[in-house]
Structure 1
Amino acid sequence: MLAQEFKEHISTQLPFLLGSRILIACSGGLDSMVLIKLCIETSFETGVAHCNFKLRNEESDGDEAFVKAYAQQLHIPCFTTSFDTEKYAATHNLSIQMAARELRYRWFNEMAELHQYDYILTAHHMDDNLETFLINLSRGTGIEGLAGIPEVNGKYIRPLLNFSREDLLKFAKKRKLQWREDSSNKSTKYLRNKLRHDVIPELKTINPSLLKNFQTTVANIQASANFIKSQVLLLKKELFLLGENGVIKIPINRLQNYGNSKSSLFFLLKDYGFTAWSDIEQMVTAQSGKQIFSATHRLVKDREHLLLSPIIEELPDHVYSIPEEETMLMFPSGTMRFKEVEEMESANLKTIFVDKEKLKYPLSVRKWKEGDYFYPLGMKGKKKLSKYFKDEKLSLLAKERVWLLCSGKEVVWIINYRADNRYKIMPQTNQILKITIT
């Protein structure tokens, strides 16, 4: 019964697995041994990967030997590795469970890439999903935490989520499979085990249809989560305006038109690593210049917009030198090209024309700094760059990304913005240098 239902589920819900090379994460326990057997009966090209976390002494080594022997019996590839899990957990300030999770998933990815497996299958089943649901519920979570374990997550596939542990046990006994029992699973010091041994059996006694009803509930939550995702995509399409250098501009007035700014900002920004939602909500009314950081991104209030940008590790105050014979320079802001031309064409923010005879080589490209000034093209007198940026209403992020083309200590061009009047083309100019940035 289970074997046929498994094949039908693969055929209808996970057809991309058919004909693919499959790596199965195998602990040696009931769940993973059943998954291996089902995959063999479904004629998958299968390999097995086993992690020895060295947490249960001889028992851990016995699990490894058991998995190796079973793979050898089936004539399928078997990959094993060992970890000093306790040391890794202490070094990285993690719980043993989180350390083991990080270690195994990193290694599974390496094995799949090295041996060219298309997908990695894990043996999570319906009972595991219920446990995860209750754990997330007890800790406080959003709708995605209540949607349970995803069946498909990139290259990781969990094809047993529609089946209970009782289904797997019946199949294993019918096929006379052997498996290993993890003694640590009996301990109720871990929340998951306490739920498994004390809470869920009681809930099943109260409601024998618990798992079936839970499956329906998860399906409904997942449908709601998918609907929210589709609406968030539409919201991003409406509110995310792409600026220069990958900066995303979010118009505050449009955001406020949607009503609940806090919820909107949560769904717009949660994929960028932010967690301080109360602080982020206050960004809407904060003064310009206020910033909030996640591990990967920065959110800045700038007048009428919120600016979202990745955190980029800038080079230290690096100065690029450009000798006279050089025709091209690549630097973080783009590629600059130099070409002598016979006559001046139309200039723009990306192209300027200068009197080459006025330049002092080598030229240099550097970041702007306080105290810099220039003579804006088309104007009389000089102006501090800080004052120019203020007049042009440049955001904090935009100012941080400004580069200058310099001749000696003089500014020739605020790259992408404005040229200096001192180097403009005059009637008596003999050499015209065209400078472009892409």
Structure 2
Amino acid sequence: MENTFKNHINKQLPFLKDSRLLIAISGGLDSVVLTHLCKNAGLNVALAHCNFNLRPGDCDQDETFVVALADALDTEVFVQSFDTNAFSEAHKISTQMAARDLRYTWFNELITLLKFDYVLTAHHADDALETVLINLSRGTGLDGLTGIPEVNETVVRPLLPFSRAEIENYAKINNIEWREDSSNASTKYLRNKLRHDIIPQLKEINPQFLSNFKNTLSHLKASQAIVNESLDLVLKEAVLFSDAVTTKFSISVLQDLKSTEAFLYEIFKDFGFNSGAAIGDLMTAQSGKQLLSDTHLLLKNRAELVLTLKSESDGEDCITITQGVERIKINSGTLVITEVASISEHNANTVFVDKDSLQFPLTVRAWENGDYFYPLGMQGKKKLSKFFKDEKLSVLEKERAELLCTNDDIVWVINKRLDNRFKVTENTTQILKITIEA
């Protein structure tokens, strides 16, 4: 196995040879064997051990074991203790999710502070099989059937080609000691039930089951690459606009696709939308209809689908700006107010205002039916509802529109138009430059 591991690093993960690596080590069989293999392969590694304090006594013994192993291998080790149960309760998540969040947050801190390049975890082929079966039982697409990625940003899993049986055999041949986690024997967790009850039966039915699974995984990943390539070509045509918050898609381009529902699922699944059929129905619905996921909103707006992050509004109906305030956070960004000696060109994000025409405090609020203002460059007043219609704003853009006001008068429809009553004139003595920063 040692030579096979070295060959795998040389052929598939050569970047690890010139990197500073952090091994996530529990003290169990898999991570201990990974540590020995990396040391014997001459990789530059340090160890990182999490004490989750979930098994009284055992967790402390795991920590002692890992520290002793690091000393025996003359390897740097980092240890962090967590109150996992308290974190789980505070964030209303399962103990397993809490432990995962805590460990990866800490790993990222070590990478940033101590300049490590990658974290190595000891996931192997059996883990990948368990993950696919879990995803299959819950319902999944192609991504969920391709197992655990070998490289995912700064996380690398060099043991994925190897089975648990190979890893255990290597440990026994080389007299390597490890710690057994008693919780791994419990079948109350789905993963453990698969590991102890279901997968052994599958292997009994077909002794080549794991090997065949790895071959299938390889074929599925190749198919996924083809899908991704097709998806990239579709998105080049379908995406009309995109920034950090909003992406607009051409409905006509999406409707002309063969297997439209399949493409819709692949395009929008990472944003929490898991039904291509529902998105297909949205494309033929009336303008203004929308779908919501936990993180995003998908809106039908005329000939477009508009995907946007949900607003992270602080919930205030009205924000007050007292005189002298230079920066203040509002829903659409940060409002910056400065005194200047002269004006430059107006644009959507910046206006220049006659300070003496304002009465502080100013306010920022959402628009309401019946609101009107005097648009710069036009004669007379105009209702905001008519202004928004003429500007061809989507339902979502209307909902998120914000107004800068003095008393009850609108000074600026933020990011859209200044009110003519507050513009700088030849009689202006004090000029305020007001900018919205994303």
- Counterpart for residue 151 of structure 1: 150
Which whole-Å CA distance do the structure 2 matches of 1:292 and 1:219 have between them?
Answer: 35
- Counterpart for residue 8 of structure 2: 9
Tell me if the contact between 2:367 and 2:401 (Cα under 8 Å) persists in the aligned partners.
Answer: no
- Counterpart for residue 262 of structure 1: 261
Normalising by structure 2, we get a TM-score of 0.84
Which whole-Å CA distance do the structure 1 matches of 2:163 and 2:299 have between them?
Answer: 48
What does the per-residue CA deviation read over 1:164-206, in whole Å, with 9 as the maximum and x for residues that have no partner? 2222223222322111222333333333233323332333233
SS in 2 for 1:301: strand
Tell me if the contact between 1:287 and 1:301 (Cα under 8 Å) persists in the aligned partners.
Answer: yes
Q: CA deviation at 1:17?
A: 0.9
Q: CA deviation at 1:269?
A: 1.7
SS in 1 for 2:50: strand
What does the per-residue CA deviation read over 1:140-164, in whole Å, with 9 as the maximum and x for residues that have no partner? 2211111011111111111011112
What does the per-residue CA deviation read over 1:237-276, in whole Å, with 9 as the maximum and x for residues that have no partner? 2222226884221222222111444323222222223346
- Counterpart for residue 200 of structure 2: 201
- Counterpart for residue 319 of structure 2: 318
- Counterpart for residue 129 of structure 2: 130
Which whole-Å CA distance do the structure 2 matches of 1:44 and 1:357 have between them?
Answer: 65
Q: CA deviation at 1:335?
A: 5.7
- Counterpart for residue 271 of structure 2: 272
Tell me if the contact between 1:10 and 1:159 (Cα under 8 Å) persists in the aligned partners.
Answer: yes
Tell me if the contact between 1:289 and 1:302 (Cα under 8 Å) persists in the aligned partners.
Answer: yes
Inter-CA distance 72–319: structure 2 relative to 1 (3 Å threshold)? same
Deviates more, 1:55-64 or 1:272-281: 272-281
SS in 2 for 1:150: coil
- Counterpart for residue 36 of structure 2: 37
Tell me if the contact between 1:363 and 1:406 (Cα under 8 Å) persists in the aligned partners.
Answer: no
Q: CA deviation at 1:367?
A: 3.9
Which whole-Å CA distance do the structure 1 matches of 2:351 and 2:113 have between them?
Answer: 50
Which whole-Å CA distance do the structure 2 matches of 1:54 and 1:175 have between them?
Answer: 30
Q: CA deviation at 1:287?
A: 2.8
Q: CA deviation at 1:35?
A: 0.6
- Counterpart for residue 364 of structure 2: 366
SS in 2 for 1:43: coil
Matches within 5 A, 1:271-290: 271-275=270-274, 279-290=278-289
- Counterpart for residue 22 of structure 2: 23
Inter-CA distance 377–85: structure 2 relative to 1 (3 Å threshold)? closer
Count of aligned pairs: 430
The code of the aligned residue for 2:172 comes to K
Matches within 5 A, 1:398-413: 398-404=397-403, 409-413=408-412
Q: CA deviation at 1:404?
A: 4.3
Q: In the alignment, is residue 217 of structure 1 matched against residue 219 of structure 2?
A: no
Which whole-Å CA distance do the structure 2 matches of 1:292 and 1:391 have between them?
Answer: 25
Inter-CA distance 372–8: structure 2 relative to 1 (3 Å threshold)? same
Which whole-Å CA distance do the structure 2 matches of 1:86 and 1:334 have between them?
Answer: 41
Which whole-Å CA distance do the structure 2 matches of 1:163 and 1:152 have between them?
Answer: 16
The code of the aligned residue for 1:268 comes to I
Which whole-Å CA distance do the structure 1 matches of 2:356 and 2:23 have between them?
Answer: 69
Percentage identity across paired residues of the two chains? 47
Inter-CA distance 414–54: structure 2 relative to 1 (3 Å threshold)? closer
Which whole-Å CA distance do the structure 1 matches of 2:95 and 2:352 have between them?
Answer: 63
Inter-CA distance 381–60: structure 2 relative to 1 (3 Å threshold)? closer
Inter-CA distance 255–42: structure 2 relative to 1 (3 Å threshold)? same
| Structure 2, unaligned runs of 5 or more | none
SS in 2 for 1:286: coil
Which whole-Å CA distance do the structure 2 matches of 1:159 and 1:405 have between them?
Answer: 56
Which whole-Å CA distance do the structure 2 matches of 1:266 and 1:285 have between them?
Answer: 16
- Counterpart for residue 385 of structure 2: 386
Inter-CA distance 336–29: structure 2 relative to 1 (3 Å threshold)? same
Q: CA deviation at 1:117?
A: 2.0
Which whole-Å CA distance do the structure 2 matches of 1:376 and 1:11 have between them?
Answer: 66
Inter-CA distance 158–369: structure 2 relative to 1 (3 Å threshold)? same
Inter-CA distance 368–4: structure 2 relative to 1 (3 Å threshold)? same
Tell me if the contact between 1:359 and 1:407 (Cα under 8 Å) persists in the aligned partners.
Answer: no
Normalising by structure 1, we get a TM-score of 0.84
Tell me if the contact between 1:363 and 1:405 (Cα under 8 Å) persists in the aligned partners.
Answer: no
The code of the aligned residue for 1:100 comes to A
- Counterpart for residue 120 of structure 1: 119
SS in 2 for 1:22: strand
The code of the aligned residue for 2:37 comes to L
Q: CA deviation at 1:41?
A: 0.8
Tell me if the contact between 2:50 and 2:103 (Cα under 8 Å) persists in the aligned partners.
Answer: yes
SS in 1 for 2:398: helix
The code of the aligned residue for 1:185 comes to N
- Counterpart for residue 56 of structure 2: 57
SS in 1 for 2:80: strand
Which whole-Å CA distance do the structure 2 matches of 1:374 and 1:149 have between them?
Answer: 56
